[in-house]
Amino acid sequence: MGFQEIENLLKEEQWTRSTITNYTTQSFDELDKQISELDDEEKTEAKNLCDTHLTDKERNSIVAMYVSGSVQLERRGSEDYLLLLNLIELFAENKKWTLVDFLCQKILRKTENKHALRLLANSYAQNGKEEEKFSVWERLVKVDYDEIDIVKQIAAHAQQKGNTDKAISMYRKAVHRLIKRKDTSPIRTIFNTLLELDVENFEYFMGLADQVSSLSRSTAVALLRDLEAANKNNVDNQIEAQKKTLQYDREDIYAKENLIKSYKAKYKKHSRLSSCLESSALTSNMVRDVLHSIEDFETNIAFDKGTFVFQNSTGKMGRIRSIDETDVIVDFAGQKGKDGNRLSTAMAFKSLMPLAKSHIWVLKSALPKEKLSKKVLEDIPWTLTTLLTSNGGKSSLKDMKAELVPSILEAKQWTTWSNHAKKELMNNPVFDLSAQDVDTYILRSTPVSYEEKQLAVFRSEKQFYDKIKRLKEYLTSKGDVESDFFYEMVKYFSDMFLEENGAIKPMGEVTDYTFSAFLLLEDLVQKQNMNFINRVEGISFKELFERTDDIEATFNAIKDPELKKSFIDHVVSEIPGWSKVLSSLFPYYLTSYIPEIFRHNKKTAEFNKVYKDVVDNFKEKASTLIYLIKNSEEKQWNKAGVSSEQLLFTELQLLDYTNRCIDSRKDVQENRKNTKTLMTILFSEKKALTYIEEGTEETAQKIYSLVANVFDLPGGKKIEIKHAISEKYPEFRFFDEISPINRETLVPTGLFCTASALEAKKKEMEHIQHVELIEVAKEIGQARDMGDLRENSEYKYGKEKQAMLNNTLRRLSEEVDRATVITKDKVDPTRIGFGTKVVLFDNLNGESITYTIMGPWESNPNENIINMLAPFGRALLYHQVNERFVFKLNEQAYDFTVKSLEVIDL
């Protein structure tokens, strides 16, 4: 009914030549009702019908634009809003403001589209709704980061309404955007308005001048002049502004003269003011770099009666007793006598460093270590301020440690103190990061905003996932998400996908960074309800997934657990055959989350394959196996076809493997962790002993055979197992003791081979790894470039070939790990075993037959070279010359006598 009605409305509109004046909000409500009655397929048909109508019949058809635009908006395509925006402009031109409002709100219920916001604000302006207009404008500047004029209008409006904080925030936002645009011309006007509103925030204005100076030094000088004038009652601030001006322009006579006046005002009671000015050449006509003159003056003026000093050559602390134009008398710590140490003024200025009373060196010399240490430990903000002030207002943690340890703190106290100090440096607004050196912290005279500081921290992070961590910390600490500082953090991630104009960048290699950025942006928009953030329209998770060569390695590389969880959710909702994908990802996300998804979707039987797989491939998937052992009940293993006995034997084999890995320095931390867990399960929790107590003698034999061969197993554990077996089976014979051989239970372990066979296997592995896998990767890449992967047989064949080669490589690697090279001198010439040639007399057939006993790599049944691990080979082992023995295999009886035995060349 809905589709037919829409078709009739298009015809009716065309025949009757309906005008804009005929439309009301009720007209669109009726159209919405018709659209809602359509299913997805019918909506597509309706959209196609309307698009054709707009192209072939009536390009300004209101019905067609509305229906097609509504369907498109609902589906969030790459041009979601174009038709509806055109329709809004059409009504705006005809001053149909009610419809403009209606259609703008329709878009804005979906997303904060900047064009819809502008049109809505204009509608309010046309109807005299000033407060509503400003409200929409505030929403607009959150999504349009290039907008500046409206930001200034919002600021002026807030100022007029008496909302000073909001006005300051908006004026600062405007300045920040102007600097990003590299447009300095309007900044001075805003700068002066901010001075009227926030003159006390001197540090902000000095920093702003610094930012502007990189674009225009003349503008920066003008700003400093205004800042100097605004601080006429604060001589220290005036001096800083004047010195900064001279840094930008050393020939600025006006700034130099004003600086001299400020120095005279500040040091008017200083006994040596005139001589310091004269000796520095500030007041003379001598041609000298003004910055050098300033440095000399401030060094000299610091010397006065009572000033603490440090002597560089001796490392001694002292205090000036008296000073005149020729001599300085200093009392040094520990100095004997009452005359003091007399130095010429020139020598004093060169060899002594003046220190403030609060300098850390002064405190060290004046206070007992216990008292100062207590203060440092208890008052971290004071300590940080003291250290930074003592080092010219900036310092790194490395420098702080050198100052505190061991003179104030013990080395063991530093770690705890530094952890608290880092938090204070990150959160306290009077501490900031240096823009020039990310490892250096600075002390601000006025607090920096939390948002600005966190952006500096974000920029300082060198690692991708550390940046994600900082952004998330910003959100949890309730930083202002509407600030431009937050936008810059988000833009770092969106720039991976979007050009400056918002268009999608050409897609390159898909990595874990690509997925993480995509999932992070999606989380901000959907879960955090930040509709003002640019969505990555036109790119889907499924597309990224299909473009990834190694999805397991990519998933494993994602360092953020929440993003991994989001990745898993997308696989379930968007990827066909998701259960197979999740099974392969489980080793890289060892939590209950993936198993719960299988249970929730009634696919537990499919997840059971993971249990069997980790047992079969316990070396490659050790951590997964251990996780499942710790978190699964016995019945789950049984359902997967893994018996309790098989699991126990696998655990013992894995313990041997992890110990060998530790010994060969392979993934030591991970393997130590796994070894500790296995030792707990097998021995501390007495799993092995329980099986001996409850099982058969055959089970005990197998357990002991495995335990005895566990590499680097503490001797006490082996003795514990032997004792338990002996207690239950007093006649039990242990194969590693001198005793008759029980050939039915004694089974050789490991993989015996010759040196040449081992070398051949290694060369085969290298060829697969460095030749065949590289070639198949190229083939896959070429096949992927051919188009749709779902219908690409070359691509599927390449992936299958790649999987086959990886399986072969994995099998070879496991065998090489187990291999033990046997040389001729290691072969027992008295018994049948590896490396022996034996002549047997077949008592049933009355003839002799010769066999050579080797390992699985060298065996060749066609040439009577027998694999010692095969059932027939095992039946021959350990027998001696003239010994007769019988056995049965596959219902066939054998009766042999050993005639002769020799060791072959290996």
- Top pLDDT among 733 and 691 is at 691
85-89, 244-248, 427-431, 760-764: range with lowest mean pLDDT: 427-431
Question: What are the φ and ψ backbone dihedral angles of 441, each rounded to 5 degrees?
Answer: -105, 150
Question: Residue 530: its pLDDT value, please?
Answer: 65
DSSP conformation letters of 474-531: HHHTT--TTSHHHHHHHHHHHTTTB-TTSPBPPP----HHHHHHHHHHHHHHHTS--T
C-beta separation of 658 from 678 below 8 A: yes
Task: List pLDDT tens digits, range 342-399.
Answer: 888 888 888 898 998 999 999 998 899 999 999 999 999 999 999 999 998 899 999 9
Task: List pLDDT tens digits, range 539-571.
Answer: 889 989 998 989 999 999 999 999 999 999 999
Question: Both tokens of residue 734?
Answer: 């242990």
Q: Return d(Cα 854, Cα 727) in angstroms, integer.
A: 38
CA-CA-CA-CA torsion for 253, 259, 261, 263, nearest 10 degrees? Answer: -150
Sign of CA dihedral 49, 54, 58, 63: positive
Beta strand pairing call for 819-821 and 884-889 = unpaired
Burial class (CB in 10 A: 0-12, 13-18, 19+), 286: exposed
Going by C-alpha positions, the residue among 852, 854, 846, 890 that lies closest to residue 871 is 890
How far from 872 is each of 485, 877, 879, CA to CA, in Å? Answer: 76, 9, 13
8-17, 132-141, 348-357, 437-446: range with lowest mean pLDDT: 8-17
Question: Residue 785: its pLDDT value, please?
Answer: 62
In which residue are the tokens 């890289």 written?
A: 588
Question: Residue 222: its pLDDT value, please?
Answer: 95
C-beta separation of 837 from 850 below 8 A: yes
Question: Residue 446: its pLDDT value, please?
Answer: 67
pLDDT at 746 over 60: no
pLDDT at 906 over 90: no
Question: Both tokens of residue 460?
Answer: 């300082």
Question: Residue 545: its pLDDT value, please?
Answer: 93
Question: Residue 529: its pLDDT value, please?
Answer: 60
Q: Return d(Cα 447, Cα 455) in angstroms, integer.
A: 15
Question: Residue 407: its pLDDT value, please?
Answer: 92
The pLDDT-based confidence of 715 (bands split at 50, 70, 90) is: low
523-527, 650-654, 742-746: range with lowest mean pLDDT: 742-746
Task: List pLDDT tens digits, range 453-486.
Answer: 888 888 888 899 999 999 998 888 777 887 888 8
Torsion-angle region of residue 367: left (phi > 0), alpha (psi -120 to 50) or beta? beta
pLDDT-above-70 percentage for the chain = 92
C-beta separation of 869 from 857 below 8 A: no
In which residue are the tokens 């077949």 written?
A: 842
Question: Residue 816: its pLDDT value, please?
Answer: 80
Q: How crowded is residue 246: how many other Cβ atoms within 10 Å of its Cβ? A: 21
Task: List pLDDT tens digits, range 261-296.
Answer: 999 999 998 888 988 898 888 988 778 899 999 988
Q: Return d(Cα 245, Cα 131) in angstroms, integer.
A: 42
DSSP conformation letters of 686-730: -HHHHHHHHS-HHHHHHHHHHHHT-TT--HHHHHHHHHHHHHH-T
How far from 155 is each of 66, 118, 166, 174, 748, CA to CA, in Å? Answer: 37, 18, 7, 9, 85
Question: What are the φ and ψ backbone dihedral angles of 363, each rounded to 5 degrees?
Answer: -65, -40
The pLDDT-based confidence of 501 (bands split at 50, 70, 90) is: low
Q: Quick one: average pLDDT of 794-818?
A: 82
Task: List pLDDT tens digits, range 36-46.
Answer: 888 888 888 99
How far from 867 is each of 33, 233, 523, 751, 847, CA to CA, in Å? Answer: 78, 99, 58, 11, 22
10-19, 143-152, 486-495, 573-582: range with lowest mean pLDDT: 10-19
Question: Residue 237: its pLDDT value, please?
Answer: 94
The pLDDT-based confidence of 739 (bands split at 50, 70, 90) is: very low
Question: 682-694 burial by CB neighbour count: b if 16+ within 10 A, else e?
Answer: bbeeebbbebbee
Task: List pLDDT tens digits, range 810-852.
Answer: 888 778 877 778 888 888 899 999 999 999 999 998 999 999 9
- Top pLDDT among 746 and 680 is at 680
C-beta separation of 496 from 514 below 8 A: yes
- 837, β-bridge pairs: 852, 902
Question: Residue 1: its pLDDT value, please?
Answer: 46
Going by C-alpha positions, the residue among 716, 745, 714 that lies closest to residue 729 is 745
Cβ neighbors of 525 (< 8 A, separation 6 or more) are 531, 533, 535
Task: List pLDDT tens digits, range 217-227.
Answer: 999 999 999 99
C-beta separation of 95 from 42 below 8 A: no
Q: How crowded is residue 429: how many other Cβ atoms within 10 Å of its Cβ? A: 13
Q: Quick one: average pLDDT of 248-255?
A: 92
Q: Which amino acid is located at 518 in the chain?
A: F
Q: Return d(Cα 583, Cα 422) in angstroms, integer.
A: 41
CA 763 to chain centre: 38
Q: Return d(Cα 485, Cα 491) in angstroms, integer.
A: 10
Strands laid side by side in the 440-443 sheet: 394-396, 440-443, 431-433
pLDDT at 202 over 80: yes
pLDDT-above-90 percentage for the chain = 48
Note every long-range contact of 343-350, with CB atoms under 8 Å and residues 24 or more positions apart, other chains counting. 348/303, 348/309, 348/323, 349/299, 349/300, 349/303
Going by C-alpha positions, the residue among 275, 230, 232, 228 that lies closest to residue 256 is 228
DSSP conformation letters of 594-662: HHHHHHHTT-HHHHHHHHHHHHHTTTTTHHHHHHHHHH--HHHHHHTT--HHHHHHHHHHHHHHHHHHH
Torsion-angle region of residue 754: left (phi > 0), alpha (psi -120 to 50) or beta? beta
The pLDDT-based confidence of 15 (bands split at 50, 70, 90) is: low
Question: Residue 895: its pLDDT value, please?
Answer: 93
Q: Return d(Cα 309, Cα 522) in angstroms, integer.
A: 59
Helix (H, G, I), strand (E, B) or coil at 754: coil
Question: Residue 159: its pLDDT value, please?
Answer: 95
- Top pLDDT among 879 and 528 is at 879
C-beta separation of 518 from 544 below 8 A: yes
CA atoms within 13 A on the CB side of 243: 16
Mean pLDDT of the chain: 87
Burial class (CB in 10 A: 0-12, 13-18, 19+), 402: exposed
Task: List pLDDT tens digits, range 131-167.
Answer: 999 999 999 998 888 899 999 999 999 999 999 999 9
Q: Quick one: average pLDDT of 403-419?
A: 91
**CA angle (515, 521, 524) in 5-degree steps:** 140
Show the 3-state SS of 435-453.
Answer: CCCCCEEEECCCCCCHHHH
Question: Residue 245: its pLDDT value, please?
Answer: 95
Q: Quick one: average pLDDT of 317-323?
A: 89
Predicted TM-score (pTM) above 0.75: no
Q: Return d(Cα 681, Cα 684) in angstroms, integer.
A: 6
Task: List pLDDT tens digits, range 635-682.
Answer: 899 988 999 999 999 999 999 999 999 988 888 899 999 999 999 999
C-beta separation of 855 from 867 below 8 A: yes
Beta strand pairing call for 431-433 and 394-396 = unpaired
- Top pLDDT among 784 and 351 is at 351
Cβ neighbors of 290 (< 8 A, separation 6 or more) are 246, 250, 256, 282
How far from 764 is each of 304, 768, 805, CA to CA, in Å? Answer: 82, 6, 11
